């Protein structure tokens, strides 16, 4: 049975990872799975779709809801743009539902409970998510932050506890036929807000270009530990420096990404005497990032609060074993056999555990190869095609239930 799906996503792009790339690849995969998709999105990143072949059964509708230029800056501008888009998207959804028949609607991004969804679940069966944000930084690690950041995190923890009182969150959670949660903390958050049916669902999909070629074996790689992402306090890039200080001198650490913690991380490397073994490559184009996944022997993931992390799938797709703090999305989605997961206990013990996890892989090519195979399987199992089949099954179930109710 072919379905007509209304998909709402704030930004889409075939040239990016994270939410824009996931939304685009999911929409295309849903069409390739035999469905008709109307994708309601913003005018942002529109140029990145101009030269891309669009499947016949994918219709893209864009809403331009930019604030005045003076307000269209920084973090305030980012959230104001989204708020304006959500208001306009809600009206556009109502207009579409008044003109056309849809079997199901799905708000896929942003995956944020406090912002809610631009879809009224009373008017059409709705899927909400994947939703993250329920996770908190382990208490033992709060001492790693300055006073300002600690206050921010304490405030956020309070806000999470009050999410179930947020009218937008409650409307989206209670109105959803099915909510998708990126981890168990977010599942609890959704249920507290009123979601009756929550399904675990990874927020990211594996870029197909990373699965199109064979992986690189142990001997062809270098003794490099790779760290990928924005260098933010929550990502704890400094922990990777401490881990490196416990590893043999021939092991190097490569950072890919920019962010406000670059200089602090560089200073820490100097203080610990490992600055000659650390490289900061900044933000890289996609093809160069892919090359880094093929050069390294381990991906190190030190995030203290993350719903999941697209770099986990990207590394896995290239057969790169993963050593990570084993909590939140990483702890619940990355197979233990795909590398080594370390429970967050004290900061010192966690750093030691991460170093030992890396040493175990670097020192045993057989164990590394087994982990590489499992990492590759992890990446393959979360392709857009796999996610589209799971979503189509969910859509058919709730569309069928709604049709049955209408016949009573």
How confident is the model at residue 73, as a pLDDT? Answer: 67
- Least Cα distance to 299 among 285, 283, 284, 310 occurs for 310
Q: What is the Rg, in whole angstroms, of the alpha carbon atoms belonging to the chain?
A: 22
> Which domains can be identified in the chain, with CATH numbers?
4-205+384-406 (3.40.50.2000), 208-380 (3.40.50.2000)
The first and second tokens of residue 212, run together, are 């199109």
How confident is the model at residue 285, as a pLDDT? Answer: 87
Tens of each residue's pLDDT in the chain, 408 residues: 789 999 999 999 998 878 899 999 999 999 999 999 999 999 988 899 988 899 999 999 999 877 766 566 676 788 889 999 999 999 999 999 999 999 999 999 998 898 999 999 999 999 999 998 888 888 889 888 888 888 888 887 787 777 778 899 999 999 999 999 999 999 999 999 999 999 999 999 999 989 999 999 999 999 999 999 999 999 999 999 999 999 999 999 999 999 999 999 999 999 999 999 999 999 998 889 999 999 999 999 999 998 888 999 999 999 999 999 999 999 999 999 999 999 999 999 999 999 999 999 999 999 999 999 999 999 999 999 999 999 999 999 999 776 544 433
Give the C-alpha separation, 314 to 375, whole Å. Answer: 10
Give the C-alpha separation, 110 to 119, whole Å. Answer: 13
The first and second tokens of residue 23, run together, are 């939304």
What is the reported pTM? 0.90
How confident is the model at residue 72, as a pLDDT? Answer: 65
Give the C-alpha separation, 80 to 115, whole Å. Answer: 12
Q: Is the Cβ–Cβ distance between 121 and 175 less than 8 Å?
A: yes
Q: Is the Cβ–Cβ distance between 305 and 328 less than 8 Å?
A: yes
- Give the 3-state secondary structure of residue 155: helix
- Give the 3-state secondary structure of residue 345: coil
The first and second tokens of residue 56, run together, are 């016949």
Give the C-alpha separation, 172 to 67, whole Å. Answer: 25
Q: Is the Cβ–Cβ distance between 303 and 236 less than 8 Å?
A: yes
Residues written for the chain: 408
Q: Is the Cβ–Cβ distance between 152 and 103 less than 8 Å?
A: no
Q: If you search the block for the tokens 């942002």, which residue do you land on?
A: 44
């Amino acid at each position: 049975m072919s379905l007509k799906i209304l998909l709402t996503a704030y930004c889409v792009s075939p040239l990016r990872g994270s939410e824009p790339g996931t939304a685009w690849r999911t929409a295309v995969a849903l069409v390739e799975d035999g469905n008709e998709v109307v994708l309601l999105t913003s005018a942002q990143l529109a140029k990145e779709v101009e030269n891309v072949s669009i499947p016949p059964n994918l219709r893209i509708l864009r809403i331009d809801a930019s604030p005045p230029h003076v307000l269209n800056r920084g973090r305030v501008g980012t959230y104001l743009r989204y708020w304006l888009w959500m208001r306009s998207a809600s009206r556009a959804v109502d207009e579409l539902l008044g003109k056309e028949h849809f079997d199901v609607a799905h708000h896929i991004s942003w995956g944020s409970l406090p912002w809610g969804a631009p879809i009224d679940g009373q008017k059409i069966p709705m899927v909400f998510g994947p939703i993250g944000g329920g996770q908190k930084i382990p208490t033992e690690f709060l001492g790693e932050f300055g006073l300002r950041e600690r206050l921010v995190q304490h405030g956020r923890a309070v806000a999470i506890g009050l999410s179930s009182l947020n009218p937008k969150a409650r409307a989206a959670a209670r109105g959803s036929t099915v909510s998708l949660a990126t981890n168990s903390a977010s599942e609890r958050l959704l249920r507290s807000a009123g979601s009756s049916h929550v399904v675990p669902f990874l927020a990211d999909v594996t870029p197909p270009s990373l699965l199109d070629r064979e992986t690189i074996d142990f001997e062809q790689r270098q003794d490099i530990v790779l760290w990928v992402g924005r260098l933010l306090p929550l990502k704890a890039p400094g922990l990777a420096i401490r881990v490196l200080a416990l590893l043999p001198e021939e092991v190097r650490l490569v950072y890919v990404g920019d962010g406000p913690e670059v200089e602090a991380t560089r200073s820490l490397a100097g203080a610990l005497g490992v600055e000659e073994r650390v490289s900061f490559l900044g933000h890289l184009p996609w093809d160069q990032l892919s090359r880094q996944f093929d050069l390294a022997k381990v991906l190190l993931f030190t995030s203290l609060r993350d719903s999941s992390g697209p770099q986990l799938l990207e590394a896995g797709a290239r057969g790169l074993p993963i050593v990570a703090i084993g909590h939140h999305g990483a702890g619940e989605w990355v197979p233990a056999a795909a590398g080594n997961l370390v429970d967050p206990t004290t900061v010192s013990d966690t750093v030691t555990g991460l170093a030992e996890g890396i040493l175990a892989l670097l020192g045993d090519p057989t164990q590394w190869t087994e982990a590489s195979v499992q990492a590759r399987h992890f990446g393959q199992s979360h392709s857009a095609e796999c996610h589209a089949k799971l979503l189509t099954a969910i859509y058919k179930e709730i569309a069928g239930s709604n049709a049955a109710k209408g016949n009573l």
